[in-house]
């Protein structure tokens, strides 16, 4: 199985003001003259991790990564104003123009797959190839599955209990709205408590094997606040997408060489999401592997690295 490339550091970082409120942290890694690729992190609101640089051959790729609005080292932290899918799509174009890139590969997982599809469908002429995993189409049933008392609560009942316990019983019929009220409370302690319960639920569900380290990372105040606040805003608005928009508009990107990979036992984003996408896009290279949700799981990383290597062979 293919493994991630060795750890690398950015050769350049930028702080790009995209409007009067938001400034994005952007980093470039690898080969400045290589095949350009943009990495789209999950969440929304999760921010970058250093291993995100490692899905690409640094000798052949110019690797561009950025913390999305309100996430990671972008500022202001956990900001909800002017923070929608379409703001992020515009940000990707602003980064491309800033860096003088004509066309690039787009790589994203989980929420990053949502954003990758939205961007590609809006700007297909800018996309050389797509590599997407842990498919999330942000349909109401997908949000109910994980954030309301859907199927995920039956698979991880003890972890669901902590998530549910943050909300009074009389409000638990509408968990997302109950969390939203707390995540936007004027009381800092209320916001943080809700965010950490949200982060623990998500962090405890992301890997196939138990990973206390992952839960701790998702519960860390800086990560939990941006993740929970921004996710709640997006998900209660169906990610600002029209019903089934990403499936409906596959014709706009059908010609783009694409790899889709999904873990068979993904609890956050059930495999049916990827199956539904592949059903309307048979031209895509579709893989179901023995894994959960995380991009770092060996079976997922294997296919992702193979996919980026193939695109480098094709376009370099």
Q: How far apart are CA 39 and CA 284, in angstroms?
A: 19
| Nearest 10 degrees: Cα torsion 300, 2, 308, 7 | 100
57 is an active site residue: no
Q: Which of 266, 287, 296, 302 is catalytic?
A: 266
Coil, strand or helix at 301: helix
Select which of 57, 205, 293, 296 is catalytic.
293
Per the annotation, the verdict on 74 as an active-site residue is no
Number of other CB atoms surrounding residue 282 within 10 Å: 8
- The string of DSSP codes covering 217-232 is HHHSHHHHHHHHHHHH
Which of 285, 201, 233, 217 is closest to 78 using CA atoms?
Answer: 233
Q: From the candidates 41, 57, 67, 110, give the one annotated as an active-site residue.
A: 110
By C-alpha distance, which of 225, 265, 232, 263 is closest to 143?
A: 232
C-alpha to C-alpha distances, 297 to 258, 286, 289, nearest whole angstrom: 20, 17, 10
The β-bridge partners of 189 are: none
H or E segment at 314?
A: helix 298-315
- Give the tokens for residue 133: 């995993």
Is 293 known to be catalytic?
yes
Residues assigned a catalytic role: 110, 266, 293
């Amino acid at each position: 199985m293919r493994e991630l490339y060795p750890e690398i550091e950015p050769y350049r970082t930028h702080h790009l003001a995209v409007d009067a409120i938001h400034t994005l942290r952007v980093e470039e890694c690898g080969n400045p003259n290589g095949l350009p690729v943009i990495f789209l992190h999950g969440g929304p609101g999760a921010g970058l991790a250093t291993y995100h640089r490692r899905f690409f051959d640094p000798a052949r790729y110019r690797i561009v990564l950025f913390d999305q609005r309100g996430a990671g080292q972008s500022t202001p932290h956990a900001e909800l104003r002017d923070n929608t899918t379409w703001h992020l799509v515009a940000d990707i174009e602003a980064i491309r123009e800033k860096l003088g890139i004509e066309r690039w590969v787009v790589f994203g997982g989980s929420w990053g797959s949502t954003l990758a599809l939205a961007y590609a469908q809006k700007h297909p002429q800018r996309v050389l190839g797509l590599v997407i995993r842990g498919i999330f189409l942000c349909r109401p049933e997908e949000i109910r599955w994980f954030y309301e008392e859907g199927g995920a609560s039956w698979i991880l009942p003890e972890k669901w209990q902590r998530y549910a316990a943050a909300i009074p019983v009389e409000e638990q019929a509408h968990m997302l709205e109950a969390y939203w009220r707390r995540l936007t409370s004027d009381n800092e302690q209320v916001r943080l408590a809700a965010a950490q319960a949200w982060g623990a639920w998500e962090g405890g569900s992301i890997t196939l094997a138990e990973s206390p380290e992952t839960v701790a990372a998702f519960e860390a105040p800086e990560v939990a606040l941006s993740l929970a606040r921004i996710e709640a805003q997006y998900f209660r608005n169906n990610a600002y997408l029209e019903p089934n928009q990403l499936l409906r508009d596959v014709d706009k990107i059908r010609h783009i060489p694409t790899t889709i990979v999904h873990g068979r036992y993904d609890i956050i984003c059930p495999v049916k999401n990827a199956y539904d996408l592949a059903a309307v896009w048979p031209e895509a290279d579709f893989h179901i592997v023995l894994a959960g949700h995380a991009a770092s799981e060996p079976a997922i990383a294997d296919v992702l690295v193979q996919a980026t290597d193939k695109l480098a062979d094709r376009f370099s």
